[in-house]
Structure 1
Amino acid sequence: MASCAAALAVALPLSLSVAHAADFVSIKGRVVNVREKPTTGSDTLWELASGYPLQVSARRGQWLRVRDHEAPLGWVFAPLTSKEPHRVVTARTANLREKPGTSSRVLGRLEQNEIVRTLGERGSWARVRRDGGQTGWVAKRLTWGW
């Protein structure tokens, strides 16, 4: 019984940290500044386009400390973010397919750093929509986000 309690005591904090780490947002609006510090007077480090997915690592008031698939980026003002799921293509190119699966017809090619809106998921595949409205399926391993 004591070993079960010890295992639970270890597993519970791990599951909480994983849940916290999985907190994602995306950029709302055309272009949003990512700042060095959580204040509008701070230097702008990056400018991110609409829909760009970000993982939240910390919160300070209405500011979010964020990272992308490559590295920590800085701070973004929370009201300029959204909970609409998006993905960024991390592979050089990715096939946009009619159905989930590598044997499905290719509808088009997604380019590296292209941002797509996530419409749903099925296993290791994500159903996405491009800016122009084209929808299809992409292998999640070729993208980052949620």
Structure 2
Amino acid sequence: MTARFLSNRAAAACLLGVSLLAGAAAAQAREFVSIKGQTVNVREQANTRSATLWELGSGYPLQVQQKKGQWLKVRDYEATLGWVYAPLTHKTPHRIVTARTANLRAAPNTRSKVVGKLQQNEIVRTVGNSGTWAQVQTEGGRKGWVAKNLTWGW
């Protein structure tokens, strides 16, 4: 009975360790960055000699998948894109509109007045959050609330 108890405790400790590691990996996988410069190259490999796969504009939100020195392997809302040089990113939260159009509202609810429209692939800076709503600011300076499920980012 004692041997079984110890092996069950050992198994539980092992599972706890695996859970903590999985949780840490998930937390790292949810790390986001945004493009800092006007345009940044997304490369096939983690070096400047590598082919450019994409060019992304200022504020474009990216989820970090992996780190390699000063390089970040990133994805957007559709798929893994490639590698970006970390100093060309920052931690200012942004969102990209994934719906065809999204209402920009005066308050975080569907009964609130529509103060503008956001277009698919438009990048907005996140300035606040309230439940399933994000308070955002457009490049032109307009502020309002958008349903998070119509956007991607943080």
Question: Is the pair's TM-score, using the shorter chain for normalization, greater than 0.5?
Answer: yes
Find out whether 1:77 has 2:74 as its counterpart.
no
Find out whether 1:102 has 2:110 as its counterpart.
yes
How far the C-alpha of 1:21 sits from its partner, in A, is 1.1
CA distance in 2, matches of 1:125, 1:4: 39
Please identify the structure whose Cα radius of gyration is greater. 2
Aligned-residue RMSD, C-alpha: 1.4
Q: What 5-or-longer segments of structure 2 have no aligned partner?
A: 1-7
TM-score by length of 2: 0.90
How far the C-alpha of 1:5 sits from its partner, in A, is 4.3
For the 8 Å contact 2:29–2:66, the answer to whether it is kept is no
User: Could you say which residue in structure 2 is the equivalent of 1:39?
Assistant: 47
User: Could you say which residue in structure 1 is the equivalent of 2:126?
Assistant: 118
- Identical aligned pairs, as a percentage? 62
Q: 1:7 to 1:37 in 2, by over 3 A?
A: closer
Q: Comparing both structures, which one devotes a greater share of its residues to helix?
A: 2
| Matched ranges for 1:1-146 at <5 A | 2=9, 5=13, 8-146=16-154
Q: What 5-or-longer segments of structure 1 have no aligned partner?
A: none
- Give aligned pairs, total: 146
How far the C-alpha of 1:76 sits from its partner, in A, is 0.3
TM-score by length of 1: 0.94
How far the C-alpha of 1:10 sits from its partner, in A, is 4.5
User: Residue 59 of structure 1: SS of its match in structure 2?
Assistant: strand
In the TM superposition, structure 1's runs of 4+ consecutive aligned residues that sit over 2 Å from their partners are 1-11
How far the C-alpha of 1:15 sits from its partner, in A, is 1.7
How far the C-alpha of 1:17 sits from its partner, in A, is 2.0
Tell me which moved more, 91-100 or 15-24: 15-24
